Chain A
Amino acid sequence: MSKEDNRRMLLEKALKEYDFQASALLEILHKAQSIYGYLSKDLLMDIAQSLHLPPSTVFGVATFYSFFNLTKPGEHIVTGCLGTACYVKGSEQIMQAIEREFNVKRGGTTADGKLSLFVTRCIGACALSPAIIVDDEVIGKATKEVVIERIKQLLGGSNQ
């Protein structure tokens, strides 16, 4: 079975699990994002049809909540926390350093599609602030140097 069919099957399973209820739209979007990595236009159309919802409703919800990505993210994802505790401890400065070092703007992806930089508002690791998430790893009490080094390692790895 192709990768695409496999993903569609996982989505179908999620849809069934929630009994195709329109009220489970957010849950379905979460599932879809974890299966496909992001919510493409086609995918949103597909979900709208499956749940018998107007596409405008599905697009409206997907764009309202910042957790959903509507564009394809880079191979690696760095998310900086700009919650209060992290901001007070200098996460803004770390974000700026990452932007400079890798030539990427927050919310965007590098030209080669290797790295995306996102912002979150608190992941609840405030006592370890500033917190930066590199792929799935949370770096607590982060410094510019440590984070940049870690990202370089990852990027270096994916080149080989």
Chain B
Amino acid sequence: MKLADLQKIAEQEVDFQRAYKYRINVCCSSGCMPLGALKVLEAFEKAVKEFGVEKECKVARTGCPGTCSVGPVVVVEPGDYLYQNVTPEKAREIVRDHIVLGLPAKDLLYSNEQFFKKQKRLVLRNAGKIDPYRIQDYIAMGGYSALVKCLATMTPQGVIYEVMTSGLRGRGGAGFPTGQKWSLVARAHGSPKYIVANLDEGDPGVFANRTLAEADPHAILEGMAIAAFAVGAEKGYIYIRAEYPLAIQTLQRAITQARSMSLLGNNILETSFKFDVELRLGAGAFVAGEETAILASVEGRRAMPRPRPPYPANSGLWGKPTLIQNVETLANIPLIIMNGGLWFSKIGTPKCTGTKCFSLTGKVNTPGLIEVPMGITLREVIFDIGGGVQKDRKFKAVLVGGPSGGCIPETHIDQPIDYESLKNLGAIMGSGGIVVLDDQSCMVDTAKFFTEFCVDESCGKCTPCRVGLTKIKGIYDAITQGNGRMEDITVLEKTSVYIRDASLCGLGQTAPNPVLTTLRYFKDEYIQHIKDKKCPAGRCFKTKEGEQ
């Protein structure tokens, strides 16, 4: 395929889609599938035939528009009418009223405009709009034109310059400037060079990367191809967790389609540029998302981190220069190339540009997947987008950044969301998990939960993490069973600081965050547990039910 052919495909596809007056997008992503999305899809296909409107109404299988709590979700275009809790019966009603009679079925519509008002969907631009199984859908939305632009009109240095100008920072947790990383890999000696796209998403309670892969797999592939062009890589791996079967299948199909259209492989778009992508499956290890551990895992070994330097940019897969990038970071790249780094740098805040996807869950009224400009406050996310706390209970804290994040109390939720503010609060951006807790959650129990998680997931290579976390867990067991002592608080604090400062990798270095933040903001709860043997939320001090 040549550059001009891509243009032609886009035009043909746009014409093809314009022939339809309506388009019904049925979300068939992992959120809606267990609720019966496939039956709903079938029902729509049947209903348009039954009413004889299949020539004017296209029924499409799409990814997730984000409102996972009211699934199965269906969007009717034009007008973006979002229907909630759709059943096969309701599907027929929607076709009859909306498509045949032209009257949207009002009582089935999703009424919460608030959910979308403060969002800005760049990475998720196509999510819920295109069929992830059809590369033509992506091309019609302007997909792969950024790759074309790079190959036809830009130099690798020019691409890196745009990414640097954009101010884009890594979305996988640490927030390292992406352009800078690219230039390190580009300048590194050694060949071949590799790219690893990180889709391990090990933070339990986060599904943003999964949703992206299921809704718009080609955005990830295009981002990878552009990165490969910029740094001079020939081979890429997407490391994805095995718990995501639908995302794996969607990406695999996307890779096959991209290869068949010569958007991956040798002589991409009839140029001398070659790049291919393969999937590598994770197997349930949180630490495998860490950048040196992921290398070991892709090579087929135990996912054990190693000290840095050498950094992967110089010595990564099989000792060769390797660019490791989160998939959300990569999905931003086509936009930056098409609109320019300067355009991107004006979104968000000056030091923290662009948007971020968050999985909003816990005791919030409208959980789901959201994308917001950097710099928005946690309050806006929880109360405006999320609709506040469920059942009008009292907001207690918000967990940001998963097991290595922190618990932030109400007094601090007016802070803007960016890497630095979150760090100052004792949390991290992490992979974008926001879990809302109400007064039924116990902060001691929450810190204990995360500590147990990190004990399970510690790879055991370095002593501070392996032994220190186990020790902390023991103290939590004592406190929550009524055997706590006041000295324990100091021991928790001290041990946490040791673990943070002395651990080998990011897992140990951040694992004490939940302990430290709960101690910082909710110390009185610890004291109540220890002195009064009371758990205000009523979670602790139960002899474990079911234990014999």
Contacts and interface: CB of A to CB of B under 8 A. Distances in A.
Contacts of B281: 26-27, 30
Contact of B546 (A82, A96, A120, A122): A96
A36 to B, nearest CB: 16
Interface stretch (B93-101, B136-144, B201-209): B201-209
A23 B300 contact: yes
Contact of B283 (A23, A67, A83, A126): A67
Interface string B264-300: 0000000000000000111111101000000001111
A128 B283 contact: no
Contacts of A111: none
Contact of B207 (A30, A120, A121, A125): A125
Interface in A12-55: 21-27, 29-30
Nearest to A95: B546
A26 B205 contact: no
Interface stretch (B165-173, B331-339, B357-365, B465-473): B357-365
B373 interface: no
A85 B68 CA distance: 13
A138 B459 CA distance: 29
Given A87-B449, A125-B30, A127-B31, A26 B283 contact: yes
B35 interface: yes
A22 B282 CA distance: 16
Given A84-B402, A127-B69, A128-B68, A64 B30 contact: no
Nearest to A83: B204
Contact of B34 (A64, A87, A97, A137): A137
A148 interface: no
A140 interface: yes
A65 B297 CA distance: 10
A129 B364 CA distance: 12
Instruction: Count chain A CB atoms within 10 A of each CB in B69, B368, B402, B450 and give the residue with the most.
Output: B69
B441 interface: yes
Instruction: Count chain B CB atoms within 10 A of each CB in A23, A65, A82, A99 and give the residue with the most.
Output: A65
Instruction: Count chain B CB atoms within 10 A of each CB in A86, A88, A131, A137 and give the residue with the most.
Output: A88
Contacts of A127: 31, 68-69, 207, 359, 361, 367-369
A61 B207 contact: no
A114 interface: no
A67 B301 CA distance: 15
B204 A128 contact: no
Interface string A48-88: 00000000010011001111100000000000011111111
A138 B242 contact: no
Contacts, number: 147
Interface in B449-491: 449-450, 453, 456, 459
A138 B29 CA distance: 13
B363 A88 contact: yes
Contact of B280 (A27, A120, A124): A27
B242 A30 contact: yes
Given A124-B30, A124-B207, A88 B441 contact: yes
A121 B204 contact: yes
A123 interface: yes
Nearest to A23: B300
Counting chain B residues whose Cβ lies within 8 A of the other chain, the interface size class is 35 or more
A3 interface: no
Contacts of A67: 242-243, 282-284
Contacts of A57: 301
A125 B282 CA distance: 18
B473 to A, nearest CB: 15
Contacts of B203: 84, 122
A8 interface: no
Nearest to B68: A127
B302 A122 contact: no
Contacts of A82: 204
B113 interface: no
B435 interface: yes
Given A67-B284, A84-B402, A88-B362, A125 B449 contact: no
Interface in B211-262: 211, 242-244, 247
B403 A84 contact: yes
Nearest to B402: A84
Given A65-B285, A122-B205, A127-B369, A99 B546 contact: yes
Interface string B531-548: 000000000000011100
A122 B449 contact: no
B34 A66 contact: no
A125 B283 contact: no
B206 A25 contact: no
Given A88-B441, A122-B204, A129 B300 contact: no
6 contacts: A30-B242, A66-B456, A81-B204, A84-B449, A85-B362, A126-B207
Leading 5 A-B pairs by shortest Cβ distance: A83-B204, A127-B68, A84-B205, A65-B283, A67-B284
Given A65-B283, A85-B435, A137-B34, 10 more contacts: A25-B301, A60-B302, A67-B243, A85-B367, A86-B204, A89-B362, A96-B546, A127-B367, A128-B68, A140-B34
